[in-house]
Amino acid sequence: MAAYGHAIAERRKRFGFSIDEVAHLSGLTPTAVDAIESDSGRLTMLELEALGRALIFDPATLLRGESLPDARRLPGWFRSHTPDSSEAIPASDVRLMALAAELGEVGAFLQGLVGQPALSLAVLRSPVPLEDHEHAWREGYELGARARARLEELDSIARACEPLRSIQQILERIGIHVARVSMESWSRQAVSVWRPGAMPVVLLNECSGRVRWQLPRRQVMAHELPHLLHDGGETDLSPTERRPQPHAEALEQRANAFAPAFIAPPEYVRERVAKHSTPEQAVLQIAREWGFTLEGAVWHAKNVGIIDAETTEQLLANVAWRSRSTRIPGNWEPELPRDDPRDHGLDVEVSPIVSGLLQDLVLQAHRSGAISSGRAREILALS
């Protein structure tokens, strides 16, 4: 087989993996990986496929004589930043993002076999350049309320003036795969990936406390939606990117504002909050009726004009009141039902990054005979 060592070595280095780490991911020995990179050993097709799985590339790309894409700069990506974006993105997290992009391609293929989602994200997508960095939150509130109204027009699952019990169900209805994975970077809450023509993918970081609990997880998922609906371009995931960019920070502020306005549009909240409520009663009503954390409800009440800035600070500082009122009842973000592969004769453990909408698509395609049992097992176990 032709010499591909240099291309493989460059991709490994761009991810930031050591030879030992690639050996572990591929199942090869470090000696074999080193020999392949230096073109001093004979590369078999099985080894090339193993390295393709480890470094997330299609072996056919090399066989066609084409260059491998930059592992840290992929087109059509929309990535959630964090306040501490000076932190270099670990190689294992970059690999998860690359795998998410590949799974998006698989998801689009499966959708073509079993049918498209009830409502495509492409119908809702409308790139909106950030007009005013100083008032990004205002743009976010406007875009969130507008997206909710548009969704209500197109899909009966979202009803006017009614709370959304499951943000994940809404995302899946418009063809977005949501997966909960463990990232090495605990401060990164979520990542959104969408290549043109592929299925959008949102990765939620289980190592983040905001993802482990239902109410904050609602906000995190709703926060990712504007990245897919309104943001554009590609993201440089290079470890040399040390400083957060003002534009990226403003986009995050806009997304932070989009989330509560999408979950509980301001006009709905103002209509439902009792006219003679105390500030504490109003905040609790918002939290309980719309599925917010208490802190999130305080900020939303302030931003929709129900309480003023001084009252906001007082409520946030009132530890005794917050401790008495922390339990928010309601079945928010229930676990969505999934078919068990074993019920379909597939003895395989579903990988966390595949669990969700993609898992459902795989089992639908297998049940209809569109893909083989072997192919179904292979996709379900991808990690």
The tens digit of pLDDT for each residue in 237-286 reads 654 444 456 777 888 899 999 999 999 999 999 998 977 789 999 999 99
- Comparing 177 with 75, which gets the higher pLDDT? 177
Q: For residue 375, what pLDDT is reported?
A: 95
Contacts of 328 (CB under 8 A, 6+ apart): 215, 287, 288, 291, 292, 293, 294
Q: For residue 262, what pLDDT is reported?
A: 97
Rounded Cα gap, residues 261 and 257, in angstroms? 7
Alpha helices in 233-293 (DSSP H): 246-263, 266-272, 279-290
Rounded Cα gap, residues 304 and 299, in angstroms? 9
Are 361 and 114 in contact by the 8 Å Cβ rule? The answer is yes
Least confident of 172-176, 227-231, 248-252: 248-252
Angle, vertex CA 207, rays to CA 205 and CA 208, nearest 5:
75
DSSP classification of residue 341 = G
Q: Which amino acid is at 219?
A: Q
pTM, rounded to two decimals: 0.90
Residue 85 has pLDDT above 70, yes or no: no
Q: For residue 71, what pLDDT is reported?
A: 78
Give the model's confidence band at 329: pLDDT under 50 very low, under 70 low, under 90 confident, else very high: confident
Residue carrying the six token digits 């001093």: 40
Rounded Cα gap, residues 89 and 283, in angstroms? 37
C-alpha dist (Å) from residue 279 to 114, 150, 314? 50, 31, 10
Q: For 285-309, how does the pLDDT look when each residue is reduced to its tens digit (9 = 90+)?
A: 999 999 999 999 999 999 999 999 9
| Angle between helix 19-26 and 45-55 (nearest 10) | 110
Give the model's confidence band at 86: pLDDT under 50 very low, under 70 low, under 90 confident, else very high: very low
pLDDT, average across residues 308-314: 95
Rounded Cα gap, residues 115 and 235, in angstroms? 31
